[in-house]
Structure 1
Amino acid sequence: MGIAISSSSPAVAARCAHARAGAGVVATQNITDPSLGPKGLDLLAGGMNAEAALAGLLADYPAAPWRQVVLLDGQGRAAIHSGEHTLGIHAVATGKDCAAAGNLLANDGVPAAMVAAFGMAKGSLGDRLLSAMHAGVAAGGEAGPIHSAGLYIVRDVSWPIADLRIDWAEDDPIGALEDLWALYEPQLEDYVTRALDPTAAPSYGVPGDL
């Protein structure tokens, strides 16, 4: 499972993108409260489906009207909350094993374009997530320029197999993120192998590696 995200703000993925192997995905955005990410993942890991986890997350939470939150559980079921104080034009969309949400958008069709692109895209999960992000931009994207983007993917190990971030770019952070993914993806399995079994790890291929 994974999440891709972008924003006009710096370092968006550091605050907003959360996922855990065996649990699910949480995006917490719009006047962000990063604590909602791990709390939501704990509820999902405890066996709640997305709808129940969202309800539990926002119960007795007075700041809910200012938050936009997306949960995706391990079975691909989505639950989304957009509070009444969500900024600007905002919209959500869901599809098979995916969900998209945004605020401060150029138009309310952006999330639907992202979901459609994710459903049609080929390749790895990272490729499909980036295809969805490009489709969002093509559909209008955020009303203003975006400056940061991130890609976070979890699998059958306890750490993220990809945690890639463009924390600030004057122009096209999603393009920069795609370039970074193109560099990282061919090495991804090597990094997993090095963690699980260093005796089977391939050469690092860097100066000083004997």
Structure 2
Amino acid sequence: MTFTILGRDPETGSIGIGIATYSLAVGATCPFMLPDSSVLTSQAAANPKIGETIITLIRNDCKPVEAMEQAVRHDPYPEYRQIALLTSTGETSVHSGSRTRPFSGYSEGKDCIAVGNFLKSEQVLEAMTNEFNGLHTEASLIDRLIAALNAGKHAGGQEGSNGKRLAERSACLMVHTSGEQFPVSTRVDFSGDAIPELQKAVNAYQTMHKFYLTRATNPADLPPQDQFSGNLGSS
């Protein structure tokens, strides 16, 4: 009961992921990122160890797609898993297990993959890749990922065992831009409508991202954070 978009912007070197789901605290278990290399999700019957294994293999010089295939081969329950990977160079790999809840599958677009399970229909995933690719390329990767989540929601989103619509109770977004020390990473762990809450969190965080990047590498000349935030509010 999850829908996910993985995307990249080859012009800026950005790579990222957005997830929305009925499950709680999705940002704690499903998304994984290795900056300047790969982004992935391990979902459905989520097991964070799968993502951790893939990232470790890549760090140890295994090619990303091979790392994912190796992790799937060694998983005792691959039929219950959905795993999708996108590299910074545009390589993709998707595993959608035979026992993930229908509708379950994926849709590939230009520089993106949508993957999900427990969905209303395959149109949810198609709407996501179409929205991602339909936005003007001047739109930021963050905006395109959130727009894709909204498109999935409006195309029917998740459908429960009883055939009724399921709310998105948690959501997350991670985007890394080449050259930056750490990604934009925001999450909503529990909400009745998580995607708009995620948008709010992202909007708030983006005003501070450059401050946090500078603080990590050269904090000497920065004002206190409360002063910086206050100046933003008065501008």
TM-score by length of 2: 0.81
Give per-residue Cα distances to partners, 1:64-120, cap 9 Å, x unaligned: 111000011121211110011111211201122211100000111111111111112
Residue 128 of structure 1 is matched in structure 2 by: 144
Q: Which runs of 5+ in 2 are unaligned?
A: 1-14, 160-165, 231-235
Asked whether the 8 Å contact 1:7–1:147 carries over to 2, the reply is yes
Match 2:220 to one of 166, 174, 199: 199
Asked whether the 8 Å contact 2:22–2:169 carries over to 1, the reply is yes
Looking at structure 2, the residues matched to 91 and 4 of structure 1 have their Cα atoms a distance apart, in angstroms, of 16
Match 2:194 to one of 127, 152, 173: 173
Asked whether the 8 Å contact 2:54–2:64 carries over to 1, the reply is no
Residue 162 of structure 2 is matched in structure 1 by: none
Q: Is the counterpart of residue 147 in structure 1 residue 161 in structure 2?
A: no
Looking at structure 2, the residues matched to 94 and 129 of structure 1 have their Cα atoms a distance apart, in angstroms, of 14
Asked whether the 8 Å contact 1:6–1:13 carries over to 2, the reply is no
Asked whether the 8 Å contact 1:8–1:148 carries over to 2, the reply is yes
Name the SS for the 1:93 alignment partner. strand
Give per-residue Cα distances to partners, 1:104-158, cap 9 Å, x unaligned: 0011111111111111224222111101100111111111222000111223345
Give per-residue Cα distances to partners, 1:129-188, cap 9 Å, x unaligned: 1011001111111112220001112233453x2221110002x21001001111111221
Alpha-carbon RMSD across the aligned residues, in angstroms, is 2.0
**Cα distance 1:202–1:77, how it changes in 2: closer, same or farther (>3 A)?**
farther
Aligned length: 206
Looking at structure 1, the residues matched to 221 and 157 of structure 2 have their Cα atoms a distance apart, in angstroms, of 44
State how 1:1-210 maps to structure 2 within 5 Å.
1-121=15-135, 122-143=138-159, 144-155=166-177, 156-159=179-182, 161-170=183-192, 172-206=193-227
Looking at structure 1, the residues matched to 78 and 202 of structure 2 have their Cα atoms a distance apart, in angstroms, of 34
Looking at structure 1, the residues matched to 37 and 129 of structure 2 have their Cα atoms a distance apart, in angstroms, of 21
Name the SS for the 1:35 alignment partner. helix
**Cα distance 1:58–1:135, how it changes in 2: closer, same or farther (>3 A)?**
same
| Equivalent position amino acid for 2:46 in 1 | T
Asked whether the 8 Å contact 2:109–2:129 carries over to 1, the reply is yes
Q: Which structure's residues are more often strand, by fraction?
A: 2
Asked whether the 8 Å contact 1:44–1:73 carries over to 2, the reply is no
Name the SS for the 2:158 alignment partner. coil
How far apart are 1:28 and its partner, in Å? 0.4
Name the SS for the 1:70 alignment partner. strand
Q: Which runs of 5+ in 1 are unaligned?
A: none
**Cα distance 1:110–1:50, how it changes in 2: closer, same or farther (>3 A)?**
farther
Looking at structure 2, the residues matched to 118 and 197 of structure 1 have their Cα atoms a distance apart, in angstroms, of 35
Looking at structure 1, the residues matched to 181 and 72 of structure 2 have their Cα atoms a distance apart, in angstroms, of 26
Asked whether the 8 Å contact 1:149–1:165 carries over to 2, the reply is yes
